[in-house]
A = this chain, B = another copy of it.
Amino acid sequence: MARFFKNRSAVQGKSPGELIFIGRQKVDSVKIRMIQYDESFIEETAGDTLAEVLKNRKEECITWLDITGLHDTETIAAVGAEFRIHSLTLEDIINTGQRPKVEEFDQYISIIVKMMRLETSDEKIHSEQLAIIMGENYVITFQERPGDVFDPVRERLRAMKGRSRRSGSDYLAYALLDTIFDNYLILIERLGEQIESIEPMLLDNPGAEIISLINEYRRELHFLRASIRPARDAIRDFSRLESDIISPSTFIFLRDLNDLATQADEAMETYREMLKDQLDSYSATSGNRLNEIIKFLTVFSAIFIPLSLLAGIYGTNFAHVPEFQLRYGYYFFWGFLVVVATIMIIFFKRKKWL
């Protein structure tokens, strides 16, 4: 399957707004977690069905509803009905091949991004789609599978640290996005370290394996960029929205997020150019080494070729070769070889090939 696309063919011919899960099913059952809080109060609920979880929802608190597992379209539809979410938004949520984007609706703002993290177990980048629905007093997050990067946010909520508990749903959404973008930067930083470590290898005698290394990093950057660049555009759109849901004091934070996104994008661009430069350098070095080798072959051959001819000439079996009968013919012959070789060497020294 193409890495940059998620099985688009599955939706072919379906009505826009119809709910079909696109992506591999990654969990057995849907998990729903709800955190409700205000400045003085916090409560966490978890369950398997929406009704079960929502029944003790307190409207006056900020509610963070976190749904893991997208294959159960019924649950998604139930959330949609409960929070009056547009069918197109629901379609975007379960179609995990979405381009990151921010869209404003009457009652809420929908944010689709890729959540990426470096799995410590296998040093691979794990990527999944995250949808954030941010309403007046609630935030709903939809994840493809268990495990996310939001534990620090939860910790801060529980610990009453920072401004989380005092602020509204817009600040919560910002905090989630901030965590996601921080992870982008960490990924790029790791990749960058590896890319910069290629540099000294270029000065040594690099073989073909460096090309496949460069190639692999390029593909990783393509992959990251396909997620991060649209996310940056989405964040820019986000920080320009004139929505009542976002309080003015949050805009300063969004501006900060915007800077983070720009920094990520610039770093990726810089690393792309560095990889290009490295391949150029490799090619130039490789061409240079070819010249060295060929020059050696040429000089070496050119010195010996006339000598061999001389040996060949005096290996002929002509009946009357006067040199053969000379007393010191053989020694003259050796002397001749030395003279010819010396002339060739001087010639190549003059040519600067030696």
Contact = CB atoms under 8 A, between A and B. Distances in A.
Interface string A250-279: 001101100100110011001101100111
Nearest to A101: B259
B315 A311 contact: yes
A114 to B, nearest CB: 13
Interface in A76-101: 86-88, 92, 98-99, 101
Contact of A315 (B88, B186, B225, B316): B316
Interface in A142-200: 151-152, 155-156, 161-164, 174-175, 178-179, 182-183, 185-186, 188-190, 192-193, 196, 199
Does more than half of chain A's interface fall in helix, strand or loop, or is it mixed?
helix
Interface stretch (A31-39, A44-52, A286-294): A286-294
A284 interface: yes
Contact of A222 (B16, B87, B188, B270): B270
A305 B320 CA distance: 25
A25 interface: no
* Assembly stoichiometry (copies): 5
B330 A318 contact: yes
Given A8-B189, A219-B274, A318-B323, A297 B300 contact: no
28 contacts: A4-B270, A8-B189, A11-B182, A12-B152, A12-B183, A13-B155, A13-B182, A14-B152, A15-B175, A18-B161, A87-B163, A101-B259, A202-B212, A215-B281, A225-B270, A226-B266, A279-B280, A284-B286, A290-B290, A293-B298, A296-B298, A297-B298, A298-B300, A308-B312, A311-B315, A317-B317, A319-B325, A319-B326
Question: Nearest 9 pairs between A and B by C-beta?
Answer: A13-B152, A311-B312, A15-B162, A314-B316, A2-B192, A318-B330, A297-B298, A315-B315, A5-B189
